[in-house]
Amino acid sequence: MVAFGYEGYFFDYTAFLYLMLRRVVRFLILTLKRPKFANKI
């Protein structure tokens, strides 16, 4: 049970990092493409 819970937590943490990385990359791409629009945000 403990090992299973730890693996589940690790998987959730990895998924969280992956989603955050995608958000950052997306934001950087939008910023590079439209600097004026990014400044409004």
Looking at residue 23, its pLDDT comes to 95
d(CA 34, CA 22): 18
In a domain, 38, yes or no: no
Tokens of 36: 């004026």
Q: Are 25 and 32 in contact (CB under 8 A)?
A: no
How many domains does the chain contain in total?
1
pLDDT tens-digit map of 1-41: 455 566 677 778 888 899 999 999 999 888 888 766 656 65
Looking at residue 25, its pLDDT comes to 94
DSSP 1-41: -HHHHHHHHHHHHHHHHHHHHHHHHHHHHHHHH-HHHHHH-
Looking at residue 1, its pLDDT comes to 45
In a domain, 28, yes or no: yes
Q: Which residues contact 31 (CB under 8 A, 6 or more apart)?
A: 38
In a domain, 19, yes or no: yes
Domain that holds residue 20: 6-33
